Structure 1
Amino acid sequence: MTHFDSETLDRNQWDAMLLSIPQLSARDKRNFEAVLHVLLSGMAWEDFPEEEFGMSFRTPWNRYRHWQQTGLWPLMLQAYCSTLPEAMQHSWKARMFQAEEHRLRRSGSRKRAALEKA
Structure 2
Amino acid sequence: MGQRRPWEVDDGLWERITPLLPVVERRQRYPGRKRLEDRRVLNGILFVLYTGILWEFLPQELGYGSGSTCWRRLRDWHQTGVWQALHELLLAELRAADLLDFTRAAVDGSHLRAMKGGVKTGPSQVDRGRTGSKHHVIVEAHGIPLAATLTGGNRHDVTQLMPLVHAVPAVKGKRGRPRRRPDVLYADRGYDYDTYRRDVRGLGIRPVIARRGTEHGSGLGVHRWVVEAAFALLHWFRRLRIRWEIRDDLHEAFLTLGCAIICWRRLAAVQRRHS
TM more than 0.5 = yes
Distance 1:77 1:29, change over 3 A: farther
Q: Could you tell me which residue of structure 1 aligns to residue 235 of structure 2?
A: 97
Distance 1:94 1:35, change over 3 A: farther
For residues 50-78 of structure 1, the C-alpha deviation after alignment (integer angstroms, 9 at most, x for no partner) is 12225221111110111122222233456
Are positions 1:42 and 2:52 aligned together?
A: yes
Q: How far apart are the structure 1 equivalents of 2:49 and 2:231?
A: 12
Q: How far apart are the structure 1 equivalents of 2:246 and 2:21?
A: 31
Structure with the bigger percentage of strand: 2
Q: How far apart are the structure 2 equivalents of 1:54 and 1:95?
A: 25
Q: How far apart are the structure 1 equivalents of 2:42 and 2:78?
A: 12
Are positions 1:115 and 2:114 aligned together?
A: no
- Superposition pairs for residues 13-52 of structure 1, below 5 Å? 13-19=13-19, 21=20, 23=22, 27-52=37-62
Match of 2:74 among 64, 82, 101: 64
Question: Are the counterparts in 2 of residues 39 and 96 from structure 1 also a CA contact under 8 Å?
Answer: no
Q: How far apart are the structure 2 equivalents of 1:37 and 1:44?
A: 10
2:6 alignment partner, SS class: helix
| Deviation (angstroms), 1:13 | 2.7
Distance 1:52 1:69, change over 3 A: same
Q: Which amino acid aligns with 1:115?
A: L
Q: How far apart are the structure 1 equivalents of 2:88 and 2:43?
A: 15
For residues 56-103 of structure 1, the C-alpha deviation after alignment (integer angstroms, 9 at most, x for no partner) is 211111101111222222334565797xxx8xx888984443424323
How high is the sequence identity, in percent, across the aligned residues? 24
Question: Are the counterparts in 1 of residues 240 and 255 from structure 2 also a CA contact under 8 Å?
Answer: no
1:43 alignment partner, SS class: coil
Structure with the bigger percentage of helix: 1
Question: Are the counterparts in 1 of residues 41 and 70 from structure 2 also a CA contact under 8 Å?
Answer: yes
Q: Which amino acid aligns with 1:68?
A: H
Question: Are the counterparts in 2 of residues 18 and 24 from structure 1 also a CA contact under 8 Å?
Answer: no
Structure 2 residues without counterparts, runs of 5 or longer: 25-36, 94-98, 100-143, 146-228, 260-275
Q: How many residues align?
A: 109
Question: Are the counterparts in 2 of residues 31 and 60 from structure 1 also a CA contact under 8 Å?
Answer: yes
- Superposition pairs for residues 78-89 of structure 1, below 5 Å? none
| Deviation (angstroms), 1:40 | 1.3
Question: Are the counterparts in 2 of residues 31 and 59 from structure 1 also a CA contact under 8 Å?
Answer: yes
Q: How far apart are the structure 2 equivalents of 1:36 and 1:80?
A: 17
Distance 1:109 1:37, change over 3 A: same
1:6 alignment partner, SS class: coil
Distance 1:93 1:80, change over 3 A: farther
Distance 1:115 1:22, change over 3 A: same
Distance 1:35 1:24, change over 3 A: farther
Structure 1, 107-116 or 34-43: larger mean CA deviation = 107-116
Larger CA Rg, structure 1 vs 2: 2
Structure 1 residues without counterparts, runs of 5 or longer: none
